[in-house]
Structure formats: C-alpha cells, structure tokens
Amino acid sequence: MTYTNIIKAGSFLALTLLIACNGQNEKKQQHEAAAKEADTTILYPQESHLKNMKQLTDGGDNAEAYFSFDNSMIVFQAKNTEWNAPCDQIYYFPFADNDMFDHIPQLISNGLGRTTCSFFMPGDTTVLYASTRSGGDACPPEPKRREDGKYVWPIYADFDIYIADLNGNILDTLISSPGYDAEATVSPLGDKIVFTSDRTGDLELYTCNMDGSNIQQITFELGYDGGAFFSPDGSKLIFRSSRPKTEEDIKEYKELLEEGLVKPTNMELYICNVDGSELTQITHLGKANWAPFFHPSGKKVIFSSNHAGERGYEFNLFMINIDGTGLEQITFDPVFDAFPMFSYDGKKLIFSSNRNNGGTHNTNLFIADWVE
C-alpha cells in the first residue's frame, strides 16, 4: 500500500498555502519561483550518502520498486492515466533500458483489479504480487472521504498473492484466503516468503515456503503488522506496526478493520527473528514510521518517517541501528520520500519521491549510488 492520497493532499495543501499566503502579485511570483526551484531538485546538498542520482520515471504515482536478485531490473507499482493504469498496476523495468520517460515498461499485472507489493522470485524470471483480480477486472472503489476526517488505507478482502512470468502470464495463485493477503516479500536466501493477512481477524505477519506451503503465523498482538522485509542473512524481519493500547484506540482500530480499513498515521518499527521470536520495538518516534528495509550490513534499517515534519505529509528517509540507537536523517526532501530498497550488492538505493515534479502531484522513482 502507498501514501498516494496523503501525497496528493499534501502537495495540494502546499500549493494552496503558497498562493493564498499573500495576495500581492509580486510576492506571489517570488513564492512560486522559490517553489519551482525546490521542485526541480534531484539531489539535496545534505544528502551525503547519495551520489549520481538518476530519475527513472516522469509522471504518475510510482512506488515500491524492488531489485531483481541480479540487480539488473526492478519490479514496481504505478498509477498513471497515460499508461492506461487508473489504479496501481505492476510493471518491470531493466536498467539497460535507461529510463521510462519516453516509453511504457512491460506490464505484468494485465490491467486487472488493483495490485500492490510486487517482488522478484529467485531466478529473476518470475515475480509475485497481490491483486484484487479475483473480485473483478475493474479497480475497486477507494474509501470515501470520511466525516471524521481520518486518513485510512483500504484492506481489500479480494487481495490474493499471485506469481507471474515477466510477460504477465499467471503461473500460480500462491496465497489465497477469504480475506486480505498481500504485502509479500522474499528472503535473500530464496527459501521463505513473508506476507500480511487478516485470516485470523487481525492483520498479522505470516511466513511460508516458496511454493506457498507451511504457512506459519509469527505475530499475534492486536494491531496492523505489515510491510515486512528480511535481513540480508534471512534470519530477521523488520516491519511496521500500529499497536493500539488505549481503550479508545483499540475500539477505533477494531471498528475500522470491520469496515476493511486501517489508519496508518501512527506506526512504529519492530524487528524479530524469522520465527517471530525476540520481538523488539526499535523506534519510538511518534507519527508514521514505515517502509523499512535493512542496510546491507544487517545492523541498520533505512525507513520513511514524518516524525520530524511540521505537517503530516513531510516524509524523509532515516537510518537507525537495529537496537534503536544512532538515528540519522538520509534525505531532505520538503514533501515526500519513501519505499527505499538497497540493491543486493549494497551499491545502489532506489526510492520514491516527490522531488523534481515541477509542482505536480507526481511521485517518481529515483536511483542513486550509496555512499557509506
């Protein structure tokens, strides 16, 4: 799942405030000129861990880009009317093709339903992804604007996890249950898959073998556990979680879940062994901390957070040790950076960002060399 709606709301709010702050034309033009300058930034001076930044897409909402095992390709989700994708669809892109400014990459999800959370399988000839296609070919409806103003994510019960080849042919329905099954990723060892499901009535993490067998529940506490990734050695998992504690928060969580919704505005990061043991909360920052991924050393985690922002939509990438110490800011975008992934050789970082979007709502993919 992505923060597409919050990105759009934030971008619209920023633009509205910029124009409305001062009615005088001269000052308005100065503000717009400053905004335009910020919008055309590829790499901010403070971003010392990144160099040779390159933009891969130019338009739409592009997110959750993950490397193939040989680091030569990515698979990702995109919503782009120019690509005939009114809701998120899955694409793959070989880096040998340079970028996606002038051509549409290979569609894998066939334009059916809404899709999310794709990931390469070992061998790099197949990918897994979640889709609502079992519930119909059309995009499922997005949640209506709530009277209580809560920002929510939909948990579509039709999401199941499929395996497809790089031409989009469905080879297998890997994980299927009456409810939500999505957010699957693969161990670097190529032996296990982790995913999120509500099959027990709550959103918990599960692991399984590569063929979907031997499903094991590994989290058990009330709250949304999702977006899990394996450590480089395949021994640990990092994930995001909302763990309601007060009676009011528990009541709200359960009521929203009954509606097929979750509120992702208060999440922290947790780490555990691959069997769920030694569960530890590693962030206590407040607000939304999510989209974590292990540093190549296995001793740190990179993630997206708005804890340092004054407004809810200001997300940047941060790094933290797996014991919760040593917090460091990595990106300095004034709007939105998220979904980081290191290449398997540790040399590259890919992520989604609102930078250099010319004042639009577009979220694009960026790749850079990683500097320790």
- CATH number of the domain enclosing 240: 2.120.10.30
Would residue 258 count as lying in a domain? Answer: yes
C-alpha 14/C-alpha 22 separation (Å) is: 14
User: For residues 236 and 221, what is the distance between their CA atoms, to the nearest angstrom?
Assistant: 18
How does pLDDT run along the chain (372 residues), one tens digit per residue?
A: 544 444 444 443 333 333 333 444 443 444 344 444 446 789 999 999 999 999 999 999 999 999 999 999 999 999 999 999 999 999 999 999 999 999 999 999 999 999 999 999 999 999 999 999 999 999 999 988 888 888 999 999 999 999 999 999 999 999 999 999 999 999 999 999 999 999 999 999 999 999 999 999 999 999 999 999 999 999 999 999 999 999 999 999 999 999 999 999 999 999 999 999 999 999 999 999 999 999 999 999 999 999 999 887 899 999 999 999 999 999 999 999 999 999 999 999 999 999 999 889 899 999 999 999
User: Of 203, 214, 269, nearest to 236 (Cα)?
Assistant: 269
355 located within any domain: no
Sheet (strand 61-67) strand order: 61-67, 73-80, 85-94, 106-107
In a domain, 87, yes or no: yes
Q: Kindly write down the DSSP assignment for every residue of 254-301, as one continuous string.
A: HHHHHTTEE--SSBEEEEEETTS-S-EE-----SBEEEEEE-TTSSEE
Q: How many other C-beta atoms are found inside a 10 Å radius of the C-beta of residue 84?
A: 10
Under a CB-based contact definition with an 8 Å cutoff, are residues 335 and 15 in contact? no
How many domains in the chain?
1
* Residue 252 falls inside a structural domain: yes
Cβ-contact 353, 337 below 8 angstroms: yes
Quick check: is 371 in a domain? no
Q: Is residue 302 part of a domain?
A: yes
Using CA atoms, how far apart are residues 186 and 234, in angstroms rounded to an integer? 9
Q: What are the phi and psi torsion angles at 34 (to 5°)?
A: -65, -40
**Exposed/middle/buried for residue 332 (C-beta within 10 Å: 0-12, 13-18, 19+):** middle
